């Protein structure tokens, strides 16, 4: 329990009244009013203590979220059937407290959507989730902490709409390149061209024979996958850009239900259905960092696999600098 600013003012006021009581001769009404004030203060302390009793807080739906943006999660507060008022919650992450939200009246259980703080990329350990209240009079604030085992994973921010448009060429090119050089996926046949098919998939010889455009189909997949190699022996800003791009591709792949394979120092993993989850990839992207130039090279991959950072990054950085 900690006194609030109003509590300190009230205490000063109360002590002044006490002094006035002893300075003046005894009168019943003064004593009565002083008793009222004293009882009110004591009961307020007790009520503040009781208001938070048996209230538990829990964050649900906690998943990795993009850097520098606020994520919405659910805060679940549970108490008993007694009404409790003005229950507030805050989260202490990496030594800083962040207010989450409040429930004005809690009876039984309540769930509210709260926003997690905007953080830079990284994996943060949550110190604790704090439930607090200063009800009824706001003189004191009682805190209850519950430990959170989970980490707060803030993955790189995907290229936003503007960024995608600005570097759209880059993204499209990367995706196209990836799809055409689909790593371990070999062509299984041809089919008619459909609008949106990458030009690199067009089977020019077959198209010439048939006199209409046909494209190559890749073996074993209903949709083409993405395979990347990330060399982390690069500058931090370049790596960040790469990670943002990978995040964008990962989201793209996840939404399109395509697999994504990533090969980097210490990791060579495919993500998607039947493979490791994309959450694991995002967790890796949240935690990973650049390596010194003397560090070993990433695992070797087929020449067709797109390499990051590559010419796309250099060109994009040049565009940004321009």
Partner 1 sequence: MSSTYRSSLVLLVLLNVVFIHITGAVELVWLLPLYILTATAVFTRPLRDNKIYRLIWNLGVLATFTVLVIDASTSGIAHLLEDGLILAVFCQVHLLNVLQKDQKPDLLFFNSFLIALVTSFFSQDLIYSLAFLVYALVFLVSIQLSNLSDQQHEIRTQVANAVLRDGIKRAVIVMGLTAMVFMFCPRDFDREGLVRDQMLWNRGPQQTADFSEEVRLGRSAQTTLSNRVAMEIHILQGAPHEIPQHWRGATLSMQNSQRWYVDSAQDYHELDERWRPTSGKWQRQGEMRSRVRVEYQKTEVRRLFNPLGSIELKVHPQNHPELAVPQSDGTVRYSGFNFPSKERPLLSYEVSIKEPNQQKVITRHPFQLEQYRRQDPKMESAAATELLSKALTGLDPKASEGELVERCRWYLSTSLDYLLPGERGSAENLSEFMSGEAGGHCEYFASALAVILRMRRIPCRMVTGYLAEEWNEDFSALIVRDKHAHAWLEVHDSETGWYTVDPSPPAALEGDNGDQSNLAAILAALEEWWKGVTQFDADSQGAFTVWLVNLPGNILAEFRLRPLRACGWVLLVLTIIYLRRRLRGGPPPELREYLRALRRAGLERRVEETPRELLARALTEEVRPEEMELLASATAAHETLRYRK
Which residues of this protein are in contact with partner 1, per CB under 8 A?
Answer: 6, 9-10, 13, 17, 22-33, 35-40, 43, 47, 83, 85-86, 102, 104-105, 108-111, 134-138
Nearer of residues 138 and 310 to partner 1, judged by Cβ: 138
Q: Using CA atoms, how far apart are residues 141 and 95, in angstroms rounded to an integer?
A: 20
Nearer of residues 35 and 150 to partner 1, judged by Cβ: 35
Least spacing, CB of residue 97 vs partner 1, in Å: 17
Least spacing, CB of residue 272 vs partner 1, in Å: 31
Give which of 124, 127, 67, 141 is closest to 97, Cα–Cα: 127
Least spacing, CB of residue 152 vs partner 1, in Å: 24
Least spacing, CB of residue 139 vs partner 1, in Å: 9
Q: Using CA atoms, how far apart are residues 268 and 229, in angstroms rounded to an integer?
A: 9
Q: CA 155, 157, 159 angle in degrees (round to 5)?
A: 145
Nearer of residues 36 and 204 to partner 1, judged by Cβ: 36
Nearer of residues 136 and 198 to partner 1, judged by Cβ: 136
Nearer of residues 25 and 303 to partner 1, judged by Cβ: 25
Contact indicator for 154, 284 with CB cutoff of 8 Å: no
* Burial state string for 60-95 with b = 16 or more CB within 10 A and e = fewer than 16: eebebbbbeeebebebebebeeeebbbbbbbbebee
Least spacing, CB of residue 36 vs partner 1, in Å: 5
Contact indicator for 124, 36 with CB cutoff of 8 Å: no
Residue 320 structure tokens: 């940004």
Least spacing, CB of residue 91 vs partner 1, in Å: 18
Nearer of residues 37 and 202 to partner 1, judged by Cβ: 37
Backbone angles phi, psi at 184, to 5 degrees: -80, 10
Contact indicator for 201, 216 with CB cutoff of 8 Å: yes
Least spacing, CB of residue 50 vs partner 1, in Å: 11
Q: What DSSP element (H or E) covers 102? A: strand 96-106
Nearer of residues 61 and 299 to partner 1, judged by Cβ: 61
Nearer of residues 78 and 180 to partner 1, judged by Cβ: 78
Give which of 200, 158, 167, 164 is closest to 304, Cα–Cα: 200
Least spacing, CB of residue 4 vs partner 1, in Å: 9
Report how far apart, in Å, the C-alpha atoms of 1 and of each of 52, 102, 134, 145, 176 are: 11, 18, 9, 12, 60
């Amino acid at each position: 329990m900690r006194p609030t600013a109003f509590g300190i003012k009230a205490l000063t006021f109360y002590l002044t009244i006490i002094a006035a009581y002893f300075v003046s001769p005894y009168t019943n009404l003064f004593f009565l009013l002083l008793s009222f004030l004293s009882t009110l203060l004591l009961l307020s302390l007790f009520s503040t203590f009781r208001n938070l009793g048996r209230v538990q807080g829990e964050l649900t739906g906690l998943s990795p979220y993009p850097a520098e943006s606020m994520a919405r999660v659910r805060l679940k507060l549970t108490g008993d059937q007694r009404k409790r008022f003005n229950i507030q919650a805050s989260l202490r992450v990496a030594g800083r407290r962040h207010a989450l939200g409040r429930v004005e009246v809690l009876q039984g259980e309540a769930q509210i959507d709260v926003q997690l703080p905007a953080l830079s990329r990284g994996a943060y350990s949550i110190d604790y989730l704090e439930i607090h209240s200063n009800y009824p009079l706001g003189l004191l604030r009682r805190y209850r902490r519950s430990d959170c085992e989970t980490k707060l994973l803030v993955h790189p921010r995907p290229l936003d709409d503007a960024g995608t448009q600005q570097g759209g060429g880059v993204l499209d090119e990367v995706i196209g390149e990836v799809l055409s050089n689909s790593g371990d996926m070999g062509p299984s046949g041809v089919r008619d061209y459909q609008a949106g098919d990458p030009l690199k998939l067009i089977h020019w010889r077959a198209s010439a024979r048939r006199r209409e455009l046909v494209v190559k189909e890749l073996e074993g997949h209903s949709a083409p996958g993405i395979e990347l190699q990330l060399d982390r022996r690069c500058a931090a800003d370049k790596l960040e850009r790469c990670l943002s791009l990978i995040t964008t591709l990962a989201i793209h792949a996840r939404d399109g239900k395509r697999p994504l394979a990533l090969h980097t120092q210490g990791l060579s993993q495919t993500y998607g259905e039947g493979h490791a989850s994309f959450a694991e990839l995002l967790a890796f992207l949240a935690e990973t960092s650049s390596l010194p130039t003397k560090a070993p090279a990433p695992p070797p991959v087929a020449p067709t696999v797109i390499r990051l950072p590559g010419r796309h990054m250099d060109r994009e950085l040049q565009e940004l600098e321009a």
